[in-house]
């Protein structure tokens, strides 16, 4: 399920009609004469339902944020010496201030696997399973990279602009944030 599909919105107008994302374009943005605005979580999503009523609503829109992480993979400061099928790789220096158990290392090439670091000693790194490199023969040094702890993130907000405030609903957490009526929220 995409993040954008976590919630479904609907707006009940003063004449009793209900507007949804499937309604005609002309009515989808404006919330003039809206008496109730609802965000209902999709089946199986453990987020709260949100409703706004009793205030004058003006319009609604959504805002997406792609958080692209630069330098996701950091190159290790030297080479590792591995033997085909080995789960212990020798290092050229003491990397105990570079790697820690739980880090992931690998060639960093698209399609290549990452290997979890189990232990780090003064002259070697043990990984969770035997290394199975495709491009290097056994007995060779190879340069590897450390996977980042941060992954790219996509955040999706639904904003309802009201007379005296804005409400921002976060589709990733189910939380609501209230700001001033003209305040933009950028994460």
Partner 1 sequence: MSATIQIHEMSALASGTDKTSGTVRFKDADNATVDTGNPLAIPSSGSIYSYTKKLRAYMSAPPNTQISNLRWYSDGSSGFGTGIGVVARNIGTTWADNYKTEMSGGSDLFGYTSASPLDGDAVDAGPFVPADDDSYIGDLIELQMSVASTATSGTLTAETLTLAYDEI
Interface with partner 1 includes 129 (CB under 8 A)? no
Interface with partner 1 includes 181 (CB under 8 A)? no
Interface with partner 1 includes 136 (CB under 8 A)? no
Beta carbon of residue 150, minimum distance to partner 1 (angstroms, whole number):
6
Q: How far apart are CA 120 and CA 178, in angstroms?
A: 47
**Judging by beta carbons within 10 Å of its beta carbon (0-12, 13-18, 19+), is residue 19 exposed, middle or buried?**
buried
Residues 8-37 that bind partner 1 (CB under 8 A): 21-22, 25, 28-29
Count CB-CB contacts under 10 A for residue 112: 15
Q: For residues 127 and 85, is the Cβ–Cβ distance under 8 A? A: no
Beta carbon of residue 25, minimum distance to partner 1 (angstroms, whole number):
5
Q: For residues 76 and 94, is the Cβ–Cβ distance under 8 A? A: no
Beta carbon of residue 91, minimum distance to partner 1 (angstroms, whole number):
14
Binding mask 44-83 for partner 1 (x = CB under 8 A): ----------------xxxxxxxxxxxxxxxxxx------
Interface with partner 1 includes 1 (CB under 8 A)? no
Closest CA to 85 of 142, 131, 118: 131
3-state secondary structure at position 4: helix
The angle subtended at Cα 118 by Cα 117 and Cα 124, nearest 5°, is 75
- For partner 1, the binding residue among 57, 91, 146, 169 (CB under 8 A) is 146
Which CB sits closer to partner 1, 73 or 166?
73
Binding site for partner 1 (CB under 8 A): 2, 4-5, 21-22, 25, 28-29, 60-77, 98, 107-110, 143-146, 148, 150-152, 156, 186-187
């Amino acid at each position: 399920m995409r993040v954008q599909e976590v919630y479904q919105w609907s707006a009940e107008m003063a004449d009793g009609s209900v507007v949804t994302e499937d309604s005609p374009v002309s009515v989808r943005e404006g919330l003039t004469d809206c008496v109730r605005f609802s965000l209902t979580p999709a089946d199986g999503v453990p987020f709260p339902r949100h409703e706004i009523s009793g205030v004058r609503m003006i319009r609604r829109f959504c805002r997406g944020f792609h958080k692209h992480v630069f330098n996701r993979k950091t190159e290790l400061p030297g080479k590792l010496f591995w033997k085909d099928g080995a789960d212990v790789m020798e290092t050229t220096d003491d990397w105990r201030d570079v790697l820690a158990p739980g880090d992931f290392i690998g060639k960093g090439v698209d399609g290549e696997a990452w290997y979890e670091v189990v232990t780090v000693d003064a002259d070697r790194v043990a990984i969770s399973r035997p290394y199975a490199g495709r491009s290097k023969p056994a007995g060779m040094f190879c340069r590897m990279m450390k996977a980042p702890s941060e992954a790219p993130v996509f955040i999706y907000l639904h904003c309802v602009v009201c007379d005296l405030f804005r409400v921002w609903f976060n589709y990733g957490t189910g939380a609501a944030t209230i700001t001033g009526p003209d305040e933009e929220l950028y994460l």
